Structures are given as structure tokens and as C-alpha cells.
Structure 1
Amino acid sequence: MLLILNIRQHLKFIRILSHPQTKQLIISKPELTYKYLRNYISFNISARTGLLILISHYSYLQKNFKIDFLENISTTPVVLWGQYIEGISFEIVMDFPHTVDHEGDLCLIFKSDLVSIYRVIFVIADGSLFELPDAHVMCVSSVQGIHGFQGIQQATKLCHDIQPAQLLMAALNGVGQALGFTTIVGIATKSQICQSEKFYFSYDEFFGKYGDLVPQKNFYRIPLPYAESALDLIHARHRKRTQKKRAFKNEIRDKVASSIEQYLVGEPAYCSAAKT
């Protein structure tokens, strides 16, 4: 019934997925065509809105990314940032969320010595679908640990006491910078479909540090770039450590932005915006 009610938009989605950029992806994942018919991204997003989000996501990728982008990341994760710290390799890669793709259609994964320990799953959507003025937003539907606590604790300690989830948000900031986006939408805890039984994660507490809850909408509106407290408001004893943390996150942001630029058609969106 849902398919029949949305048949015109469904056929539009089929045409979009027939594009050369997504042709191989559809061959390997034919279920992608119908994924909006079940819960997608959030419990309070209708099937029609989910379909429109998918249309906007893949339309945006086809218009702004090189033709082999999706094929590349759907077969081999693309490294966006990497660094050796005390003999351990840390990476942030972009991948297609193969096993949990009802939560979104792109993901950033934080790795330690090639082991995936944390991920952020998101999708690019028209801002109007969230009643926002932005032409496009990044909607974050999942922030989850995917390996043991020991690896997460070790990574946090070695990366200037910054948790992997925060490092992935810095990377997402870099993606937004490359694309010229100014808003992230974060799905609130109440509407989460991806809460892990093994790793509980407070989305309200996490997203609340970056933005504000939109009343009656069950999502957080997070401005890009992220707001930072003025250094003179931070106790002098912690100021130097705070500066080191911010420098490390900014390094990740800028490196990720530079890496994403290689896959874009034409110059980065933020460069075009600066010229106008």
C-alpha cells in the first residue's frame, strides 16, 4: 500500500538509482530500492519523507560527486584522515553502511590499527524535509561504538583524551566544510531506531553539546562550524590542554575536507560561496 501511494516518487527514485554512479550499488544491494518502506533514519519519519530523503541524497551525490565515488566507497572504504600515535595507526574512513543501511546511506568509521571501533551514519537531505531553510543538511542517525570498550578507551587516551565520537563529529564538520553545508540534524534519543543493546548511547546528551533540540520535532539542529566556548572563559589551568584538543580536532576537520574535495565535481562549494 505504501508503495502504491508513493508510486510516482518511487519511479523517480528508480530512475535516479539507474544513474551510472549507483548502477553497481543497486546490483549488489537491490533492497536499497525499497528501504524507505520500513523504519528509515527515525521512528517519526514517514515512508514518504524517507523516500524523499533518499531521492535528495542520491540526487545530490550524482550532481556533486565524481561518477565513481559511490562505487569506490561501496567496495573499499576511502581513507579521509590517518595518523600514527605511539605506534598505533588511527584512521577515519568513509564507507557505505553495509549492515545497517536503514540508518542512513553514508558513514564515517574511526579505526584503530585497522579495527573499526566507532561509526557515525548519516544521509544528505533537503533542509525543507526538516522544515529548515538550508538547501541541504547532513542528518546524523547513528553514533555507535562497534568494538570493545578497551579499544575505545585506548583511542581516547592517545588522541588527547578526545572520545572517538567527538573525533568523528570533527570529521563530519570537515565533510560539511567541503560541501558548504551549515547545518547538521541529529536524531534525538526518543526517535532512535539504532540504539545498540550492547553499547547504550545518550543521543540527547551528545547532540545537546553541539546544538539545540527543535521542539516537537525530536531532532537537534547543529550549526556548522561548531560553536566553541571562548578560551578566556576556560580556567587557566585547562586552557593549554583545551587548545591542544581543538587543534587536533581542527586538523582532522581540515584533512577530511581536503580529502572529500578530491571526489567533488568542480571546486568545493565553500570556495564558490566565498567568491560570491
Structure 2
Amino acid sequence: MTGPTDAERLSRAFRALDAAGVIAREDYGWGRGDGPNIMYGEREEFFPGARGFVHDAIDRGPGLLFYGVFTDEERQDPEEQAALGREVVEALRTQGLEPSWDGSPRQAIELTTDAWKWRPVHRAADRRAADGGTPALLVNFDDRRLDNGGLVRFSGQGMVGDDGVWRELLYRLTPARGSYLTFITPDDTALQLIWEEGPRLRVEVPDPEARVYHYTHLSLAQAEQAVAALAEDGLAPLAALRGSGPLETESWDA
């Protein structure tokens, strides 16, 4: 299995922060000033219980992370903001990144630009990997967020040629209600991952003949294992999902 890039480590850290109540976004906003304003919209739309936020800014280029706490006061409490900064730094270090930060709430958290060097998403007319080897998974997605960053910058589909690419897409997808990824095998069966309120990840296999979905709710790590079984072991989507635990069934008309 291909090892994670720093970019994948950043996305993994951000997903851990999302799960902990801190809205974490890549390619977000156009500067340090407008990021918090959009983040309040993200909280209202997707995460009403969020405590704080962290993001980078498109026009500042890669390397800086800005963060803050949500408050009804005119200004953030410096101690609370610094505590959030420490939480972000710890999440980054847990994933193997080496952030630079002096502990001041007035100081952005710095990372090397490698944390924004994503593997390319390969596109092709056939269903083969970029190296001409193992048949690739086709991916369709919709990344729900209030700006135009993240996966929104890509078109809605592409060829996924190796585990490094599909893992980066999996962890980079914004965990906002309605965001989804669909991995389609060379025989045109699908494994779908859909973020619900919470955020909570629903993983399902559509059954067109029976007009039902077979589904369960998984952690991101468990979903990664299911997609790996699909991509690396060649398991059918339903077999890959059954390996993650018991399934429920829902009619297409529900």
C-alpha cells in the first residue's frame, strides 16, 4: 500500500478535528479576514454545535493555517483561541506533521508546502489505471461547502489509479451533510459514501434489481478498509461492505 503524503496527513488531521467539533477546511476563503465570516455560515449550515474552526486561505498560498473560536462577543477570548491553536497543533502532530507555532493566538500555524501537494487525479477514457495495469476505480463526487475550494476544484469524476489517490479523495471530502463519493468498479457496481448530520458517514451499495440500498454507518478508517478491499483485493462492493459488519436495507422509494 502506498504511504500517505503530507497532504493526506493534513486531511486526516482535519477530519479528526471535524469529529471533535472544530470545523476544518482546506482551500478555504480568500484571506485571513473573510475566513471567519464564511466559517460562521458553515457552522449555521452544517455544524451548529461546532466550537471553533481552522482553515488555510487561497490567496495567501499554502503554508499557513488560521484558526479561531466561535463567539457572540465582539472579540475572541485570547486564551480560548490559544487553546484551540494547541488542539490544532496536536492533531497535526498526531498525523506525523511538524507544524511551527509560537503559541500566540495572533500567530498563524505554519506547515511546509508539501502539505498541499496532492497526487493528481487521473482521467482516462478507459477503465485502466494510469500505469496501464490494474483496472482503476471510477470516482464520482459532490463536495458540499460554502466556498469553491476542496474537491469542488475538480470536475465531478475522475479515474482513480492507485490507493494513494482514492485515500486522499476519501479524507479530503468535506464531512458536510450531502457530501458523497461513489467508487465504481470496472464491472459498473458501486460503493457509495455519504456524509450525514453529525457528521456521520453512511456507506452503502445500491442494488438496482431489488431497488434497495444495503448500508451501514462506519468511521472513516473503516470506510478506508472497505474501499481498500474493493480496490486492492478485488472484492465486490457488497462483499467489501459486509466485511465491516451487519448491514441494513432501505428501499429506493424511502
Query: Quick check: TM above 0.5?
Result: no
TM-score by length of 1: 0.29
TM-score by length of 2: 0.31
Q: Which protein has the bigger helix share?
A: 1
